Amino acid sequence: MSTLKQCSQQPLGYPRRADVCDIADWNDPKYAPIEFTAPFIAQEPHPVWADPTTVSLWELNARITYSDGHIKPLSEACAFDNTTHRFLNPFGKTGISGRGALGKWGPNHAADVLVTWESNAKCMVLLVSKHVGDSCNLAFPAGMVEPGKTVPATLYAELTEEAVKESNVVHRLFKECEVGIVYRGVVDDFRNTDHAWLETTAMHFHATPEIGEQLQLSITDTNEIKGVAWYDITEVTEMYASHIEWLTTLKTWWRSDLRRLTPCSE
């Protein structure tokens, strides 16, 4: 059995996932996933950020994906199921077909903002306490890229809604302190299904001491975010979803003697 979250974990409201042996074998005759799309997405009228039940192949073909780390049309990067007329999750089978709790057929794009700064010779990282189900997990400020919005605009909006007070210093952070993309691609998210999956762009900003000191911690989105604080990057060992992997990349970057000159890999 796969250890991927998308194959092994069952979010609240999801049915039990079908057994997944070879995640890459879409032709396995024994594979029998349950069709599931959350009722609040399938209802009519559907949420403005969600697809209708049926989307034309022309529209699906034109959608972009980061599945291999590069921006490509969905039709060039992902396999297509001629039976269901849906594109298939590039990470492989999940045990559930349909959209689950994700709004879009195919890739659902998110953006994660990773902010660090040096204080007392330590690398401090900005993390929020994210409420998920009955637990609270450390996470980077993040959110879905809404229709008509860009990744940079989403990064800015999520940071100022979940972690810091909007001000000129935040504008300076984005203008002067961008390091680079830490990760761009498919996320092993427990909401993923065979036909809908999460992709993200995780962008790193390393604040100067002046900017770091002036960032005022503040939470506007209190429904999901329960706290925000600076953490010593070396002391964080567990985080939400795939965020710990990006934190590990930041730790490696911090330990490098070239960290002031070398951006994270793009």
pLDDT (tens digit, 9 = 90+) per residue, 100-124?
Answer: 999 999 999 999 999 999 999 999 9
- Residue 133's pLDDT is 60
Banded model confidence at residue 155, pLDDT cuts 50, 70, 90: very high
**Packing angle between helix 168-176 and helix 151-162, nearest 10 degrees?**
140
- Provide mean pLDDT across the span 234-239: 92
pLDDT at 65 over 60: yes
- Residue 102's pLDDT is 95
For the entire predicted model, the pTM comes to: 0.89
User: What is the tens place of the pLDDT at every residue in 67-88?
Assistant: 888 889 999 999 998 888 999 9
Residue listed under structure tokens 């291999």: 68
Q: What is the mean pLDDT of the chain?
A: 90
Other CB atoms within a 10 A radius of the CB of residue 60 amount to 20
- Residue 136's pLDDT is 67
Dmax (CA) for the chain in angstroms is 60
Q: From 3.40.50.300, 3.50.50.60, 3.30.160.150, 3.90.79.10, which CATH number describes the 108-255 domain?
A: 3.90.79.10
Structure tokens of 159? 């940071």
Structure tokens of 13? 């409201």
pLDDT at 258 over 90: no
Whole-number percent of the chain with pLDDT over 90: 71
Calculate ∠ Cα 259-261-266, nearest 5°.
85
Residue listed under structure tokens 């969905």: 74
CA 195 – CA 94 distance, rounded (Å): 9
Exposure string (b/e) for 95-111, b if CB count within 10 Å is 16 or more?
Answer: bbbbbbbbbbbbbbbbb
- Provide mean pLDDT across the span 212-234: 93
**Range list for CATH 3.90.79.10 in the chain:** 108-255
- The answer for residues whose C-beta is within 8 angstroms of residue 247's C-beta and 6 or more apart is 125, 233, 236, 239
User: What is the tens place of the pLDDT at every residue in 19-49?
Assistant: 998 999 999 999 999 999 999 998 888 888 8
